[in-house]
Amino acid sequence: MTIRPEHRQSEIAKADGPMRMRDVARVVGVSSMTVSRALRQDTSIAPATRAAVLEAIAALGYVPDQMAGALSSRRSGFVAALIPSLNNPHFSLTAAALSDTLQAAGLQLLLGFTEYDRDRETALVRAMLQRKPEGIILTHDGHAAETKALLSRARIPVVQIWDLPVEPIDHVVGFSNTNAMQALVLALGSKGYRRLTYIGEVDDAGSRGAARREGYLNAMQQLGFEPRILTAGAPPVTMTDGAAALEMLLARFPDTDCAVCVSDPLAFGLAMACLRRGIAVPGNLAIAGFGDFEIGRISRPTISTVAVDASEIGRKAGNVVLSALAGQHPVNRNDTEIATFVKLRESTG
């Protein structure tokens, strides 16, 4: 069946408001129930009939009422996800992979941004839960007590990502920021660096930044070196913070042979400040970051870092939700831990 433009305009003119399912049914010559079944991809509908229904929907501009279907099936058809921001390419990659995984299973992603603010996260969790999502996925960077209480009572799959919390709410897909940073510092120690200064974030209690600082401290203790710690700015620290950090480093620990930064943007900013000051990297000061950002891979010198597959986190988180919704619960921390890799590059010789 082909919907002629004049027929489409005629049907639109008859409608007293938005196009309804009955308008589509009238054009195709079937019942509203048949249209509904075609939308649900019911296998009892003949392929030709489904094709005609979908053509009519597209031609008439009909938008199916998903909430009506949700009321009858008690399913909303979407999964909520909270990430700090889209400015960080890692979170963008995670969200894209998560969306693709869910969409392949017929679910949509509703995305919210916490802006690294725990009170904002609590408000978003409350708002999302009011919309009855099938599950909720959120970046673990420490949560307010109210957030944890809301999620614990939600009775839907909850997946914390990008870290391995000590006390998970439900499911986890992430890695140990502590262990990853510890591995980086130990690798730097094996290269002969002794006076390693850590540059982190202020007010980072319970965050991934705090976990990375702990990893640095663990490694320094294991190596038998005296720890040195500076804070450059509030999370998320930026390239500009990295530039300012050089002045603090020269004032507090001028004999530093390697600066270990909480993130690649901070490390890049520090490296550019060294370039402007004529400080050779790694000749006078070695620099390492965390996260394997693209800017660190193309900078000169390239920046040593810890790499993690952000897309894999999204895919695995989506599959955890799908498994839980299917009544399968094979998930534990060992099943959902993401591998990390130390990448020593030009910035540390």
What pLDDT score does 1 carry? 58
78 shares a domain with 15: no
CA distance 47 to 215: 58
302: CB partners within 8 A, 6+ apart:
296, 345, 346, 347
Tens of pLDDT, residue by residue over 125-159, are 999 998 899 999 999 888 999 999 999 888 899 99
221-262 residue pLDDT tens: 999 999 999 999 988 899 999 999 999 999 999 999 999 999
Question: Is 209 found in the same domain as 318?
Answer: no
Domain that holds residue 29: 5-64
Residue 172: beta bridge partners? Answer: 160
**Listed residues 46, 64, 82: the one ending a domain:** 64
Q: Residue 94: left (phi > 0), alpha (psi -120 to 50), or beta?
A: alpha
pLDDT at 55 over 80: yes
How many structural domains comprise the chain? 3
How much is the pLDDT for 141? 83
Q: Is 134 in the same domain as 60?
A: no
Which range in 116-130, 211-225, 330-344 is most confidently predicted, on average pLDDT?
211-225
Peptide bond into 301 cis (omega under 30): yes
Higher pLDDT, 16 or 175: 175
Structure confidence at residue 295 as a pLDDT band (50, 70, 90):
very high
- The residues, ordered by sequence, that sit 6+ positions from 86 with a Cβ below 8 Å of its Cβ are 92, 95, 113
Answer yes or no: is pLDDT of 333 > 50.
no
CATH of the domain at 148: 3.40.50.2300
pLDDT at 194: 97
Question: What CATH number did the domain enclosing 17 receive?
Answer: 1.10.260.40
The label of the residue with tokens 């203790």 reads 221
- Going across the sheet that includes 108-113, the strands are 108-113, 78-83, 136-139, 158-161, 171-173
Q: What value does the mean pLDDT take over residues 259-273?
A: 97
Residues 228, 120 share a domain: no
Q: Is 69 part of a structural domain of the chain?
A: no
Cβ atoms within 10 A of the Cβ of 93, count? 16
Q: Report the 10 Å Cβ neighbour count for 67.
A: 12
pLDDT digits 0-9 by tens, 12-42: 445 555 667 888 888 888 888 888 888 876 6
- What are 94-130's pLDDT values in tens digits? 999 999 999 999 999 999 999 889 999 999 999 999 8
The residues that bridge with 262 in the sheet, in sequence order, are none
Shared domain check, 275 and 239? yes
- Region 326-335: mean pLDDT is 60
Is 135 inside any structural domain? yes
Do residues 274 and 219 share a domain? yes
> Cα 16 vs. chain centroid, distance in angstroms?
43
